[in-house]
Every structure is written in structure tokens, then in C-alpha cells.
Structure 1
Amino acid sequence: MLAIIGGTGLYELDGLDIHERQGGDTPFGTPSGEVLRGTLHGQELLFLARHGAGHRLLPHEVNYRANVYALKRAGATMMLGFSAVGSLAMEVAPGDLAMPEQYIDWTRGARERTFFGGGVAAHVSTAKPVSGALVDSVVVAAERAGLSVHRGLTYACVDGPRLGTQAESHLLRQMGCHLVGMTNAPEVFLAREAQMAYATVGLVTDYDCWLDDPTQHVSVSAVFELYGQSLAKARRLLDALLSGALPVPETSIRTALTGALLTPDEAMSEAQRTWVSQLRA
């Protein structure tokens, strides 16, 4: 089942026929909000607003582990996120749609980056962190909707909530990054630990601040203005995606814990065995 993670400005999914609202805590704390299960264009899916209703949570305040676990518990096998991103490449212009396929985690805060630890050891490969099958399906859907999508990009995740300095922007460009955002890590890596296919549609709002022209530098007001306009594109894209057959997640992703989990079941507590079995499902 596909789960949609709504980012900035996407706090609900218009037209979703809601069948169930799933709340409650997880073994990793409280998610950003309820997980909505419903149908849209005949497809059953899940929806969760990353920042909570009314945008209550800053990027470093989001409980990414609880969000990913809640979606997995609800039956998700794929996650498609929508996020505001800044561009670090001239060819990726404000207003464009962009899908990263590689990530650099440049966060330095106290985000919980893994489900594992505390007596359960695992080392999951994230060499290819994004589902190529899901990206392919989104790109094909975009073509059907008359939209273009940049792909094959590298996303740098920073802590926020402040906007970056020009020196930081240049450094990320030198590292080979094309996009910068505040939310996709550790989300992308937790999805892999939960054996779920993951991809993000980035809504490009600005050129960050690496250009010499100060009128091109990112500001919150400009982000929200352009992002609001881009949401219409994102909705067209999602409608086109749901109008066709959804992809099947790669076997390598759905079995990511095979060989990666080092702690035997008998060495875990009952509670640990419960949440590990949920990740394996």
C-alpha cells in the first residue's frame, strides 16, 4: 500500500474518502498526527502530514521514527513524500519538480536516525536509498500529466530551522548536491530499515542563497508563495500516479533486514521482538 507524506502546505489530501483514522503512540513515541486510511481515484492509500495539522512541528521536532513506524503498522509498503526544497543547480529552477535519488545527511542535531540500538543491532545498506521503481512510476505519471520532473539528483538534508548561509550553500554545491531541504533525513533511511520503498517529490521554491543576486536568496514569504503555486502541480502529478497501476516495491527493499539484523530473536525482549517483527512485515 502507498503512503503519502504531506510536507509544507500539504496537511490534508483533498478528495480522499477517509475510511479510518489511526492514532495512538508507537514504541518510538508519538507521530505527527493521525494516519488516514482511505481511497482516492480508486486506490487505497495512507496519508500523514509530516509537520502535523496546522504546521506545528519544525523539521528537527518531527518524530520521524514514530511517523515511519505508524505508517508501516498501518500497512504501508511504499512511501511517497512531498517536500519544499531549495535548488543548488541553475538548471533546477524555482517552480520545478525534482526527485532526489541520493542523499547526504548533513544534520548535526539530536534527530533519532535509526530504529536500532538499545540491545537490537542492525546495519542496513542504503547505497541506493530510493526506490527506482517508485521514481520511474512517478516520472511516467508526470509525463501523462504534461509535467516534467528532474531526477537523479542529490539532496542535502540540513537541520534548520534557520535558512543557510551563503558559505554553506556553496559548500553543499561543492559536495555535489543539487537540492537542499530539512526533512528527508532520517525519513528516507528509516523507510529502508522498515523495508518500505521510498521516494520524494521535491517542490523547488528558490535557489537557496548561493547566487550573487540577493533578490534570488531564499525567504520564508517567497517559499510559501511559490510552494502554494507548485502544490497544484503536485496534485496533478499525484492524480496521474493514482490513475494507473502502482509499482511493486523491489524485492531487495522488501527484504532489506535479511542479513542486516545481527541480534537473534531469542536475545531480544518481548517488546523488541514485537517492533522488529513489525518492521519485517
Structure 2
Amino acid sequence: MLGIIGGTGIYQLDGLEVTGEHDVETPFGKPSTPIVEGKIGVRTLFFLPRHGRQHELLPSEVNYRANIWALKSLGVTQVIGLSAVGSLKKEIAPGDLSLPDQYFDFVKGHREKTFFGKGLAAHVSTAEPTCQRLSMGLAAAGERVGIRLHTGKTYGCVDGPRLGTRAESFFLRGAAGCDLVGMTNVPEVFLAREAQLCYCTIAIATDYDCWLDDPNQHVSVEQVIARYGASLEKAKTVVSAFIDDYAEDGDCACRRSLASAVLTPKEALNKEQSALLELLSS
């Protein structure tokens, strides 16, 4: 089952025939909004706007654990995220789409980044944090509709909500080796792996952050909004093309990420911990 998490500017999904809405309670509180269930053609999917339906949530205010848990509890096995980002490389021009396959966690504030703890210990590998099969499927869908997606890119995640300094921009594109900068994919990508979900983000470049010498190229909210519309339509076109040929891959290694990750013996778990592990492992 496919779930889509919409980022900035994506508060509903065009072409989705809504068939229901799920106000999910999770052990971690409420997700950003009730989750919409619907159909595109014959395909059933679930949609969740990351920032809320009126974009009322800052990146640090998003309840990432509740979002991922709620999607998992509804039977979602594959998640496509849509995210606005800044480009840290000249070849990724504003308007371009990318599929990051690596992440650099530069979040310094407090965000709950794991489902584990409090008596339940697990260490999930994130050497390859995104789903290669899902990424390849999206890239192939883009090729079918004539839209190129940059692949093999690294996303640096920062706290926000402020836009970055030039020093931070140079650090991320230099020492950290990042190609893109955004505010929301951490811890989303890592929680998806803990929940044994296939996960990939379509990153929509809106600007060159602030590493270029020309101050007119430095990111601003006005610049982001002005450039975003056409790029957003490209991303939606890719997603639609992907959905047209969608086939769930139950044999993906992402769906077995907890196989050797949990260290706490089952007999040591209480009722709540057992229930949590049972859902994550399903």
C-alpha cells in the first residue's frame, strides 16, 4: 500500500478520489492531520500533508513519529515524500527534481528521532537510508513522462525555521558533502526505516540556498513561492506516472530492517513495548 507525505504547497492531492478519512490515535500523539484515503484510478493510497492542511506546523513542530506510525497502522508499506529544498550544487537548478539517497543530520534541536528507548533497545542500519527500488521506480516514471530526476544526491537536514547563513551553506556543500538542504526529512526517513517502510523523497529545488556570490540568488520566502508552482506540477506528474504502474514489492530488504536490529529479548518486554514492536515489525 502506498502513502504520500506532502510538503510545502501540497496540502491535497490532485486527482485523488477521496473515499475516507482516518483520525488516527498513536502512542506518540496525533499526526499532522487526519489521513486521507482515496483512489487514483483503481489504486488505493493514503495522503498526509506534513505541515498540516493550512501549513500551520514548523519543521520542528511536525510529529514525525505519529505521522509514520499512523501510515504504518493503516497498512502502508511504501512512502513517497515530497519536499522543497535548496540546491547546494550549480547543476541542480531551481525547478529541478532530485531523489536523495543519503542524509546528513544537521538538526541540533530536540526532535524525537526513534521509536525505541525506555526499555526497548534497537539499532537499525541506515547506511543506505532510502529504498533503492522505490527510487528507481520514480526515476523510471520520470523518464517515461520526459522529466529528469537527479539521483545519488545527499540531503542535509537543518532545524529551521530560519533560512541558513552563508557559513552554514558552505559547510553543508563542502565539509558535509551535501547536494541539497531542507528542514523536514530528518527524522522522517529514519523513522520509516525503523517501521520497515520503503521510503524515498522527491526533493524539489526552489533556490540555490545562499552560497552563490550574487545576493539576488540568496533564498527568500518570496523566491521560493514564486518558483515553486511549476516545479510542484512536475513532481505531481512523476508521482502520477509512478502510480499508473505501481506494484508493491513485498520482497524489498527495507521490509526486513528490524530482523537483527532489536537487542532486548521479547520476554523482557511489557505489554506496550510488545505492541509497539509488533506493529513496527509487521
Aligned residue for 1:3? 3
CA shift for structure 1 position 30? 1.1
- Paired AA for residue 276 in structure 2: W
**In 2: Cα distance, 1:160 partner to 1:246 partner:** 36
- Secondary structure of the residue that 1:260 maps to in structure 2? coil
Contact 1:192 1:253 in 2 (8 A): yes
Call closer, same or farther: CA 1:250–1:192 in 2, change over 3 Å. farther
Aligned residue for 2:58? 58
TM-score, with structure 2 as normaliser: 0.97
CA shift for structure 1 position 250? 5.0
- Paired AA for residue 92 in structure 2: V
**In 1: Cα distance, 2:281 partner to 2:16 partner:** 28
Aligned residue for 1:269? 270
Aligned residue for 1:208? 209
- Paired AA for residue 242 in structure 1: I
Q: How does 1:89-168 map to 2 (within 5 A)?
A: 89-168=89-168
Task: Spell out, residue by residue over 1:114-162, the C-alpha distance to the aligned partner (whole angstroms, 9 max, x if none).
Answer: 0000110000000000101000000010011110110100000000000
**In 2: Cα distance, 1:260 partner to 1:134 partner:** 22
- Paired AA for residue 13 in structure 2: L
**In 2: Cα distance, 1:5 partner to 1:71 partner:** 10
- How big is the alpha-carbon RMSD for the aligned residues of Structure 1 and Structure 2? 1.0
Contact 1:23 1:34 in 2 (8 A): yes
- Paired AA for residue 123 in structure 2: H
- Paired AA for residue 108 in structure 2: R
- Secondary structure of the residue that 2:277 maps to in structure 1? helix
- Secondary structure of the residue that 2:60 maps to in structure 1? helix
**In 1: Cα distance, 2:193 partner to 2:9 partner:** 26
Aligned residue for 1:34? 34
Call closer, same or farther: CA 1:94–1:250 in 2, change over 3 Å. farther
- Paired AA for residue 171 in structure 1: F
CA shift for structure 1 position 227? 1.4
CA shift for structure 1 position 24? 3.1
**In 1: Cα distance, 2:90 partner to 2:135 partner:** 22
Contact 1:134 1:197 in 2 (8 A): yes
**In 1: Cα distance, 2:104 partner to 2:132 partner:** 18
- Paired AA for residue 38 in structure 1: G
2:257 paired with 1:256? yes
- Secondary structure of the residue that 1:151 maps to in structure 2? strand
Aligned residue for 2:182? 181
- Alignment identity in percent? 54
Aligned residue for 1:279? 280
**In 2: Cα distance, 1:24 partner to 1:244 partner:** 29
**In 1: Cα distance, 2:222 partner to 2:55 partner:** 15
Aligned residue for 2:49? 49
Call closer, same or farther: CA 1:249–1:183 in 2, change over 3 Å. farther
**In 2: Cα distance, 1:247 partner to 1:146 partner:** 24
Aligned residue for 1:226? 227
- Paired AA for residue 209 in structure 1: C
Count of aligned positions = 281
- Secondary structure of the residue that 2:141 maps to in structure 1? helix
CA shift for structure 1 position 275? 1.5
Contact 1:131 1:249 in 2 (8 A): no
Contact 2:113 2:191 in 1 (8 A): yes
- Paired AA for residue 156 in structure 1: G
- Paired AA for residue 188 in structure 2: E
- Paired AA for residue 219 in structure 1: S
- Secondary structure of the residue that 2:205 maps to in structure 1? strand
- Secondary structure of the residue that 1:150 maps to in structure 2? strand
The answer to which of 17-26 and 62-71 deviates more is 17-26
CA shift for structure 1 position 247? 4.8
Task: Spell out, residue by residue over 1:78-121, the C-alpha distance to the aligned partner (whole angstroms, 9 max, x if none).
Answer: 11000000000000000001110000010001100100001100
**In 2: Cα distance, 1:130 partner to 1:249 partner:** 16
Contact 1:166 1:209 in 2 (8 A): yes
CA shift for structure 1 position 14? 1.8
CA shift for structure 1 position 16? 1.0
Gaps of 5+ in 2: none
